[in-house]
Amino acid sequence: MLKAWWNDPADYHWLARALHSHAAVHWTKVVVGTGGLVLAGIAILVLSSETGPPSRVGQALDWIIAGFALFWALRWWLLPWPSRTESLVLFAAADIAITVANLQESNRVYGALGVILLVVTGGYLAVMHNAKVLAVHAVWTVLSVVALTARMVAVGGDPMVGLAIVLISVAAGVVLLPAMQFCYWVLRQDAVTDPLTTLLNRRGLELYLHQLVESGCSSPICAIAVDLDRFKDINDRLGHAGGDEVLIRTAKRLRAAREPGMVVARTGGEEFVLFGQLNAQTARVAAELVRRAVAEPENSIAVTASIGVAVFDGGLDSPIPTSLILRADDAMYQAKQLGGNRVVVDEFIESNVA
């Protein structure tokens, strides 16, 4: 599970859309922008104190940081939600600004303690970006706190206090934030996974489809819609527990029969979708393998499936995955009308090889 968390790309745009769909994006922008206002206030207060930057260069840097913080606030309050790249640039700049501001402090103990502000920026990164981004932030946090505490100890500061500051910063930025992100990732995985079959659910499939479109895929892609035939009869005969066993068994067989790289999702009661980068010929073969895998008898329970296939040929236009799935659904309903246990590719009927 830790490996899956580390390798998960964390779809930034999907998370941003989730904020929009729950009408939470406005208040999130207000909160993030207010963080910039707070940073500007801290910089101005320090400049006004006797323990502020002793040199003109340090004072100039603090004014630049205060200006950046005010720009930050206005950007988040007035402009649309940033792209993934802009988000990373903004927070990288914020990390650098926090460290540089603390390096200017004449009170070096305060400067070392100020690095705790990196926990605030890390909290955003933990939610909106992936584990690799958070790891880079954690490395920056460690380097910053070591530099700031070494600067404090170099002028006679208590080494034990310096070590305590390092441990506090590591506990917050290197232990707490990754643990928080991991728990959030587990909850997000639960939200996009069907609890019965452990396949992707409809929301998880939408996440994958958005990633496919945003990657600019120009290769042939296909959707294979699978619907179990007469599943209500199975539920009536075996009960819902027996029906659940059939669904679990079908999910396992779909995983085993899919082509490499294809994703499998349960999109309804007894409905499944396979999606991947296959051309028309390979998609027909793959769909027939799926049909045979589902129909393989077990414990005297006979189950068949109607299967529809739609293929995007990889032309210059971008694929519309939802339209492709609708076409596969239409083909699947044609297969049902023809008696089930067969594959229909778009509007072309494949002969039933039972």
Tens digit of each residue's pLDDT (9 = 90 or more) over 339-348: 999 999 975 4
C-alpha span between 5 and 147 (Å, rounded): 30
- Helices 84-103 and 118-128: crossing angle in degrees, nearest 10, is 170
Per-residue confidence (pLDDT) for residue 213, from 0 to 100: 65
Per-residue confidence (pLDDT) for residue 126, from 0 to 100: 94
Helix (H, G, I), strand (E, B) or coil at 153: helix
**What is the residue whose two structure tokens read 């707490």?**
176
Do 344 and 334 contact (CB within 8 A), yes or no? yes
Q: By C-alpha distance, which of 142, 136, 67, 139 is closest to 101?
A: 67
Per-residue confidence (pLDDT) for residue 227, from 0 to 100: 96
Per-residue confidence (pLDDT) for residue 217, from 0 to 100: 62
Question: CB-side exposure of 208: number of CA atoms within 13 Å?
Answer: 22
Per-residue confidence (pLDDT) for residue 319, from 0 to 100: 57
The backbone torsions φ and ψ at residue 38, rounded to the nearest 5 degrees and listed phi first, read: -65, -45
Question: How many CB atoms neighbour CB 166 within 10 A?
Answer: 18
pLDDT tens readout for residues 298-346: 777 789 999 999 988 765 455 578 888 999 999 999 999 999 999 999 7
CATH architecture of 202-349: 2-Layer Sandwich (3.30)
Report which DSSP code applies to 197: T
Helix (H, G, I), strand (E, B) or coil at 303: coil
Residues in the chain with pLDDT values less than 50: 316, 348-354
Order of strands, sheet of 221-228, starting from the edge strand that comes earlier in the sequence: 263-266, 271-276, 221-228, 305-312, 342-345, 348-349
| CATH 3.30.70.270 segments of the chain | 202-349
Per-residue H/E/C for 246-290? HHHHHHHHHHHHCCCCCEEEECCCCEEEEEECCCHHHHHHHHHHH
